[in-house]
Amino acid sequence: MTSTTLMSDTALLDAAREVAHRAYVPYSHFPVGAALIDGEGHLVTGCNVENAAYGETICAERNAITTMVAQYGAQRISAIAVIGLKAAPCWPCGACRQVLREFQCERVIVEGPDGEPLSLPFEKILPYSFGPEALDEE
């Protein structure tokens, strides 16, 4: 799915909800979808994909991010929307927050308890974070 137009937070959540229905979740029965807009305006989606070896499970957010890199070579994320079909809000887990940080994610959108989009700047969900610039040699 490709788009170079700006999307509303509601439309981004709708894209996340759509892909969540394709989640492979035979163990947790907890489908999650993520939809991101990369730095060039591409829309990329991902769902969680579980595995019988539980540790090999990949979250919806990281699935979308790896797809973004593979499809577009993008290295920035303007915004990501996350939907859990059985929980609202459904915030990214710690591992996904770190991976979002790698790609300078600017904003995270979840569905609030009232069904309305809830948007936060990324620094609010991962303050004092470790990132690539920490490895820069001076």
Q: Residues annotated as binding site for substrate? A: 48-54
Q: Which is nearer to Zn ion, 55 or 136 (CB)?
A: 55
Alpha-carbon distance 39 to 95, whole Å? Answer: 21
Q: Which of 61, 102, 111, 133 does the annotation list as catalytic?
A: 61
- Give the nearest distance from C-beta 4 to Zn ion in angstroms: 27
Q: Which is nearer to Zn ion, 41 or 57 (CB)?
A: 57
Torsion sign over Cα 75, 5, 120, 21: negative
- Give the nearest distance from C-beta 82 to Zn ion in angstroms: 9
- Give the nearest distance from C-beta 96 to Zn ion in angstroms: 3
Binding residues for Zn ion, rule: CB under 5 A, are 59, 93, 96
Which are the contacts of 38, defined by CB distance < 8 A and separation ≥ 6? Answer: 44, 68, 72, 74, 76, 77, 78
Q: Which is nearer to Zn ion, 34 or 37 (CB)?
A: 34
Largest CA distance in the chain: 48
Residue with tokens 């019988």: 52
The question of whether 123 is a catalytic residue gets the answer no
Which are the contacts of 135, defined by CB distance < 8 A and separation ≥ 6? Answer: none
Q: Which residues are catalytic?
A: 61
